[in-house]
Amino acid sequence: MKIVCYKDTILKAINSVVKAVASKTTMPILEGILIQTNDNEIKLTTYDLEIGIEYVIECEVKEQGSTVVNAVMFSEIIRKLPDTEIHITLNNQNLLEIECEGSLYKLATMSPEEFPELPKIEVENSIEVDQNVLKNMIRKTIFAVSSEESRPIFTGCLFEIENSKLTLVAVDGFRLALKSIFLTKQSNDFKAVIPGKTLNEVNKIITDSFEPIKIGVSKNQALFEMDNCKVVTRILDGEFLNYKNVIPNSWETRIKVNKNNIQDSFERISLISASSIEKEKKYPVKVQVDIGKVIISCTNQTGDAKEELFVSTEGKNLEVGFNPKYFLDSLKVIEDEEVYIEFGTSISPCLIKSIEKDDYIYMILPIRLKED
Amino acid sequence: MKIVCYKDTILKAINSVVKAVASKTTMPILEGILIQTNDNEIKLTTYDLEIGIEYVIECEVKEQGSTVVNAVMFSEIIRKLPDTEIHITLNNQNLLEIECEGSLYKLATMSPEEFPELPKIEVENSIEVDQNVLKNMIRKTIFAVSSEESRPIFTGCLFEIENSKLTLVAVDGFRLALKSIFLTKQSNDFKAVIPGKTLNEVNKIITDSFEPIKIGVSKNQALFEMDNCKVVTRILDGEFLNYKNVIPNSWETRIKVNKNNIQDSFERISLISASSIEKEKKYPVKVQVDIGKVIISCTNQTGDAKEELFVSTEGKNLEVGFNPKYFLDSLKVIEDEEVYIEFGTSISPCLIKSIEKDDYIYMILPIRLKED
């Protein structure tokens, strides 16, 4: 194998594929990048047996061939070379020679035959969205994906396509995050639960651009397809929460509030609420709605905190306890200037919603207030 | 105690004094900030029994008084308040009330009588330099301060004033860093070894400005004095290395090299040199000087690396081993486009020096090359 390519081109490919390099493994081959030539292209492949990534670039192929090289060493060396042409050659001692101006590096390689094959996918259903749109949707839901391995289905994010609308839903038992958009092209209805870990990596690979990304699913696998780059992942098995049934559709108390102001208040109050010396005891913050204002307060052994905001209120007065972290996680990703916060009773979940649209919903379960 | 101040003003003071807050201590008082009013000023003080910092700001003092409050909680709350006036009051339950717009925080306090007194300093000798000059000198030497507690004197940095020239020297047994400047005002000759830890903190407090900083020393203490802010530290006891006797003043081989090019080469070669699986075995890089070129190379079980640079050479050909990290540490802080590197024999130290001036010297000891 003998190729010549520009540093920038191959580095971009490497930066994408390294996301699926296994980090803690007893199988060194999974720490490698498979490099394969194909006419005047090379394909870089990584696969940690959960996520697989392929990236194809054009370059000058002087001799066809393939090899596997340690991903970390290969990427670090390429990263530090000058911005110019790099000659990459598999020599006859099976060392990968990387040559660039006065630099010559020779790295040990592994056999491409040992590299595990990526699962083949027969795409049954697919949609296409802009990369920036998907990136935004992932950012707005992924934080609510559960990390509890005991209920594996909730370690994923639901992708639901219904009447040409794409909805992402994540839920972890304490809160739920939902974000939807209308697709520009018509599509079949289908759904799939994508592992949160994969989505995180996909999110790092996709750009903030208007370039398209195609999301295809088969029975057990999903495929994210961009220009030059493919990401393959398994789909989580099992029944996701029927989210439509758990989101309340009426309220007893509703406030309309400046998003930044209430976010700042929750941030400050978290300092006291999170400072509890008895970490295992949850000190909820108390949210109190009175006519024309909301008061958020918290008391523990570190101190005492009270935040008062003047807001427009509708419905009953109310007192309810929450973990401020869940409010913050949601508020941080909302871009609207104002939001509605809807409450039921002191034991029913609260919703954060858009004033004008219904393209996102954050649901947060309350915590019982301790009277001590 | 009752004060009113602007967030910006007090936050700047807090950000400086928190550098001397004890982090791992069994004495909660050392985790505090002492706040004392004095007419229309307040003074914030922290002291971890090694470094002490005082910062004075003007503000509206409505009631004189003093208290001690946990530094982390206090600074975090102030940091997150809106950019406006803050009312700070010690109430009659000894809670510190922090009030700002709709926010009210009450923090537990400690008794100011329990706060340890900072050592008094009778300054015997002092100099004055611009803050940016001192910052630059610290940055260029501090990395060579030893972390070995077994020879405490080398955990500090020598400040030597001789004929109105200030020289900073740090040494750790493997390399030495020296940086000097001429003082604009005449001064007595004196010297002091300042703990590296203190210098690190001083470096974070001083700005990149032309504002002056006064460095004064007594028998056991040093004092860094800026506008509003004072840093007190102990001086290390003992005899520092007589550095003038150990720096070679002749060479057998000398190269003149582009600083960035050789730095890049050492950076790449470090990837191979540092990747050794047998971490305890030191794989030095081999530096080889031939007429008109220098070759840096390294071989271990990960691979093989060779860097060739065309440079101007003088004197004998040479082969010598080094730890590339020591070269990198020095090269990173040098701003010159070209440098001299001077070698003696394969067992004598090498020097990195300025082409034109003699305001810095980096000395690096060689490592014996393994022939295997």
Under 8 Å between Cβ of A285 and A324: yes
For the cut 70, the answer to whether the pLDDT of residue A276 exceeds it is no
Residue B271 touches partner A, C-beta closer than 8 Å: yes
Residues of A in contact with B310 (CB under 8 A): 102
B292 touches chain A (CB under 8 A): no
Question: What is the per-residue pLDDT for A371?
Answer: 58
Among left, alpha and beta (phi > 0; psi -120 to 50; other), residue B315 is left
How high is the pLDDT of residue B24? 85
Classify domain B247-364 at the CATH topology level: DNA Polymerase III; Chain A, domain 2 (3.10.150)
Give the Cα separation of A287 and A120 in Å (integer): 52
Residue A142's SS3 state is helix
Instruction: Please state the rounded mean pLDDT for residues A97-110.
Output: 96
First to last CA, chain A: 73
B314 three-class SS: strand
With contact defined as beta carbons under 8 Å apart, do B302 and B271 qualify? no
CA distances from B100 to A230, A348, B4 (A): 52, 32, 10
Percentage, residues of chain A above pLDDT 70: 97
The DSSP element (H or E) to which B103 belongs, if any, is strand B103-110
Task: Report, as an integer, the average pLDDT of B256-260.
Answer: 97
Closest CA to A293 of A279, A303, A307: A307
Of B80, B265, B304, the CB nearest to A106: B304
Region B24-52: mean pLDDT is 95
Beta partners for A195? Answer: A156
Distance CA B61, CA A5 (A): 68
**Helix pair angle (A324-333, A259-273), 10° resolution:** 150
CB contact under 8 A, B105 and A304: yes
Q: What's the CA gap between A144 and A330, in Å, rounded?
A: 9
Within chain A, all domains assigned CATH 3.10.150.10 are found at 2-114, 126-241, 247-364
Predicted confidence (pLDDT) per residue in A207-236, tens digit: 999 999 999 999 999 999 998 999 999 999
Q: Would you state the pLDDT for residue A365?
A: 95
- Alpha-carbon distance of A220 to A202, in angstroms, equals 18
User: Which of B271, B287, B301, B328 has the most A C-beta neighbours within 10 Å, making it the best mutation to test the interface with A?
Assistant: B271
Residues A328-350 have a mean pLDDT of: 96
SS3 A77: helix
Which residues are CB-neighbours of B73 under 8 A, at least 6 positions away? Answer: A271, A272, A275, A302, A303, B107
Q: Strand pairing partners for B87?
A: B4, B99
**Is A94 in CB contact (< 8 Å) with chain B?**
no
What does the block give as tokens for A231? 């990401």
| pLDDT-derived band at A24, boundaries 50, 70, 90 | confident
B81 reaches A (C-beta below 8 A)? yes
- Residue A304 near chain B (CB below 8 Å): yes
What's the gap in Å between the CA of A261 and the closest CA on chain B?
10
CA pair distance A158, B287, nearest whole angstrom = 57
Q: Which two tokens stand for residue B271?
A: 């990837």
Which secondary structure element, helix H or strand E, spans residue B305, and what is its range? strand B303-310
Asked if B305's CB is within 8 angstroms of A105's CB, the reply is: yes
Q: Which one is predicted more confidently, B6 or A299?
A: B6
State the Cα–Cα distance between residues A46 and A29, nearest whole angstrom: 10
pLDDT number for residue A372? 44
CA distance, residue A83 to nearest chain B CA (Å): 12
The pLDDT of A270-280, averaged and rounded, is 69
Tell me: the pLDDT tens digits for B108-161?
999 999 999 999 999 999 999 999 999 999 999 999 999 998 999 999 999 999
* Interface contact A306, partner B, CB < 8 A: yes
Structure tokens belonging to residue B29: 């008082």
Instruction: Provide the shortest C-alpha distance from residue B281 to chain A (in Å).
Output: 19
E strands along A48-174, which residues?
Answer: 51-58, 60-63, 66-70, 85-90, 95-100, 103-110, 125-130, 156-162, 165-171
Cross-chain Cβ contact B272/A105 below 8 Å: yes
CA distance B198 to B272: 35
- The DSSP bridge pattern shows strands B229-234 and B253-258 to be unpaired
Q: Is residue A49 over pLDDT 80? A: yes
- HSE-CB of B70 using CA atoms within 13 angstroms: 18
Q: What percent of chain B has pLDDT over 70?
A: 97
CB contact under 8 A, A268 and B305: no
Query: In CATH, what is the architecture of B2-114?
Result: Roll (3.10)
d(CA A356, CA A353): 9
The whole-number average pLDDT for the span A174-198 is: 95
pLDDT of residue A281: 56
Tokens of A284: 């909820």
pLDDT digits (tens, 9 = 90+) for B78-96: 999 999 999 999 999 999 9
Q: Please give the pLDDT value at position A303.
A: 84
Half-sphere exposure of B359 (CA within 13 A, CB side): 15
Q: Measured between alpha carbons, how far is A158 from A286 in angstroms, rounded to an integer? A: 32
Nearest by CB to B271, from A73, A265, A307: name it.
A73
The CATH code of domain A126-241 reads 3.10.150.10
Find the closest chain B residue to A101 by CA distance: B308
Q: Which residues of A touch B77 (CB under 8 A)?
A: 268, 271
pLDDT digits (tens, 9 = 90+) for B263-318: 999 999 998 887 755 554 557 899 999 999 999 999 887 789 999 999 999 999 99
Q: pLDDT tens, B161-185?
A: 999 999 999 999 899 999 999 999 9
Domain with CATH 3.10.150.10 in chain B: 2-114, 125-174+181-238, 247-364
| Of residues B299 and A96, more confidently modeled | A96
Substitution target in B105, B287, B302 with the highest count of A β-carbons within 10 Å is B105
Please answer whether residues B296 and B318 qualify as being in contact, where contact means their C-beta atoms are separated by less than 8 angstroms: no
A268 → closest Cβ in B70, B80, B305 = B80
Q: Do B268 and A303 touch (CB under 8 A)?
A: no
**Distance between CA atoms of residues B306 and B266, nearest Å:** 10
* Residue B270, burial from CB neighbour count under 10 angstroms (0-12, 13-18, 19+): buried
Separation between Cα atoms, residue B94 and residue B212, nearest integer Å: 39
What b/e readout covers B79-95, taking b as 16+ CB neighbours within 10 angstroms? ebbeeeebebbbeeeeb
| A343-359 pLDDT, tens digit each | 998 889 999 999 999 99
Of the candidates A82, A95, A268, which has its C-beta nearest B103's C-beta?
Answer: A268
| Interatomic CA distance for residues A272 and A332, integer angstroms | 19
Spatial contact of B43 and B55, defined as CB atoms under 8 Å apart: yes
Contacts of B354 (CB under 8 A, 6+ apart): B336, B339, B340, B360
**The pairing of beta strand B60-63 with beta strand B51-58:** unpaired
Residue of chain A whose Cα is closest to the Cα of B82: A264
**Which of A193, A237, A183, A227 has the alpha carbon at shortest distance from A207?**
A227
Measured distance CA(A40)–CA(A58) in Å, rounded: 6
Q: Do A102 and B73 touch (CB under 8 A)?
A: no
* B27 touches A: beta carbon within 8 Å: no
Q: What share of chain B is helix, strand, coil (3-state, %, to 5)?
A: 25, 45, 35
In this predicted structure, what is the pLDDT of residue B256?
97
Per-residue pLDDT at B306 = 96
pLDDT in tens, B226-238: 989 999 999 999 9
Position A368 scores a pLDDT of: 83
Q: How confident is the model at residue B372 (pLDDT cuts 50, 70, 90)?
A: very low
Tell me the two tokens of residue B215. Answer: 């460095």
Q: Which amino acid is at A12?
A: K
Cβ atoms of residues B288 and B295 within 8 Å: yes
CATH number of the domain located at residue range(s) B125-174+181-238 in this protein: 3.10.150.10
Contacts of A108 in chain B (CB under 8 A): 301-303
User: Residue A339 forms beta bridges with which residues?
Assistant: A257, A354
- pLDDT band at A5; cut points 50, 70, 90: very high
- Whether chain B has a CB inside 8 Å of the CB on A98: the answer is no
- Residue type for A103, please? S
Nearest to A199 by CA among A157, A160, A228, A236: A157
Task: Give this complex's ipTM.
Answer: 0.87
Average pLDDT over every residue of A302-327: 94
C-alpha A284/C-alpha A371 separation (Å) is 11
Q: What are the residues whose beta carbons fall under 8 Å from the beta carbon of B112, sequence distance 6 or more?
A: B34, B36, B66, B67, B68
Mean pLDDT of chain B: 94
